[in-house]
Amino acid sequence: MANLFAGVGTSHVPGIGAAVDHDKTQLPYWKPLFDGYGPAREWMEREKPDVVIIVYNDHASAFSLELIPTFAMGVAAEFQPADEGYGPRQVPVVEGHPELAWHICESLIMDEFDMTIANKMPVDHGLTVPLSIMCGQPEAWPCKVIPLAVNVIQYPQPRGSRCFALGKAIRAAVDSFDEDLKVAVWGTGGMSHQLQGERAGFVNEPFDTAFLNDLTADKERLINIGHTEYMREAGSEGAELVMWLIMLGALDKDAKEVYRHYHVPASNTAAGLIILENP
Ligand code: DHB
Ligand code: FE
């Protein structure tokens, strides 16, 4: 059977991808951030997941305000890096896992989560930057990827509690897939950041630290953080953190933290990374 063994939470700042693509990771500005990614890359190389479900938000690349799916799962065999205005990133094509993705969609919809099913979905920095963070610059990505796009761009976004419940349902779906596969879930986005308005550049380190702590210490508190609290405490884009709760919901209750890295600033953002493993 498929085994969902671990979760990763990570920021997906586009500048991090640009630093990788333009060979700037060893410059004084970026080095402390990338030094902290080293152990996460070693973990990835050691654990070799077959499939990673990457929970991310599309930033008006595959979708626009014409079409705003709350939860869209990619079931295609491959996903092209999106052109975000300056040409697609020169990174490998993202290979999907259609059989598992369709199985998860079926299970979720029977479980009353009304998923949007995407047969074509160019993937932007929200998905490719986490791959660069965890895998560096390989010829081909070392795992299959099932993209799960969540609307955190346009109000009304899904609540954290709904995201957590979706994670639980994803776990049940993976558990019932009849093939020996090692599966991980990554939640991306955050941590605290605000890209616009009077508080542009806002970062709240105590909020982020408490969020990282409570992924293991107090899930109930995290699940109940509302949109207004995210905006006030984590900036206007801080609500991206609800995507980490999908990852959290898919893990065992007593999943353990095995690695953490937190660094400010990465572009306008507090960059966080955490790895959680089921016992
Ligand atoms: C930036 C953009 C993002 O989508 C994000 O999640 C964090 C930072 C940026 O432009 O700096
Ligand atoms: Fe983002």
267 lines ligand 1 (CB under 6 A): yes
Do β-strands 182-188 and 3-10 pair in parallel, antiparallel, or remain unpaired? parallel
pLDDT digits (tens, 9 = 90+) for 99-150: 999 999 999 999 999 999 999 999 999 999 999 999 999 999 999 999 999 9
φ, ψ dihedrals at 253, nearest 5° = -55, -40
- 216: domain CATH number is 3.40.830.10
Confidence bin at 40 (pLDDT 50/70/90): very high
pLDDT at 58: 98
210 lines ligand 1 (CB under 6 A): no
Q: Ligand 2 centre and the CA of 279: distance in Å? A: 30
The answer to whether the beta carbons of residues 16 and 33 sit under 8 Å apart is yes
Confidence bin at 272 (pLDDT 50/70/90): very high
Tell me, yes or no, whether 278 lies in a domain.
Answer: no
3-state DSSP helix/strand/coil percent for the chain, to nearest 5?
35, 25, 40
Atom of ligand 1 nearest to the CA of 266: 11
Say how far apart CA 239 and CA 190 lie, in whole Å: 7
The residue length of the chain stands at 279
Q: Ligand 2 centre and the CA of 220: distance in Å? A: 24
Tell me, yes or no, whether 275 lies in a domain.
Answer: no
User: What percent of the chain shows pLDDT beyond 70?
Assistant: 100
φ, ψ dihedrals at 56, nearest 5° = -150, 170
Atom of ligand 1 nearest to the CA of 189: 6
Which ligand neighbours the alpha carbon of 268 most closely? 1
Gap between the terminal Cα atoms of the chain: 17
**Among 208, 268, 273, residue to substitute to test ligand 1 (most atoms within 8 Å of Cβ):** 268
Say how far apart CA 129 and CA 137 lie, in whole Å: 11
Structure tokens at 151: 């609307």
Tell me, yes or no, whether 173 lies in a domain.
Answer: yes
Tell me, yes or no, whether 163 lies in a domain.
Answer: yes
Do β-strands 94-95 and 116-118 pair in parallel, antiparallel, or remain unpaired? unpaired
User: What percent of the chain shows pLDDT beyond 90?
Assistant: 100
Tell me, yes or no, whether 273 lies in a domain.
Answer: no
Task: Give the burial class of 86: count Cβ atoms within 10 A of its Cβ; 0-12 exposed, 13-18 middle, 19 or more buried.
Answer: exposed
Confidence bin at 158 (pLDDT 50/70/90): very high
268 lines ligand 1 (CB under 6 A): yes
- Give yes or no: 103 in active site: no
- Give yes or no: 193 in active site: yes
14 lines ligand 1 (CB under 6 A): yes
Out of 103, 193, 261, 263, the active site residue is: 193
Q: Ligand 2 centre and the CA of 195: distance in Å? A: 10
Tell me, yes or no, whether 33 lies in a domain.
Answer: yes
Confidence bin at 33 (pLDDT 50/70/90): very high
59 lines ligand 1 (CB under 6 A): yes
The answer to whether the beta carbons of residues 173 and 103 sit under 8 Å apart is yes
Tell me, yes or no, whether 80 lies in a domain.
Answer: yes
pLDDT digits (tens, 9 = 90+) for 208-257: 999 999 999 999 999 999 999 999 999 999 999 999 999 999 999 999 99
pLDDT at 43: 98
Say how far apart CA 275 and CA 10 lie, in whole Å: 9
Structure tokens at 102: 């369709």
φ, ψ dihedrals at 161, nearest 5° = -65, -35
pLDDT at 84: 97
What is the count of structural domains for the chain? 1
Q: Quick one: average pLDDT of 35-44?
A: 98
Say how far apart CA 27 and CA 66 lie, in whole Å: 40
Map residue 262 onto helix, strand or coil. Answer: strand
Q: Which of 80, 170, 157, 93 is nearest to 119 (CA)?
A: 80
Distance of CA 154 to the CA centre of its chain: 18
Structural domain for 29, as ranges:
3-268
Tell me, yes or no, whether 167 lies in a domain.
Answer: yes
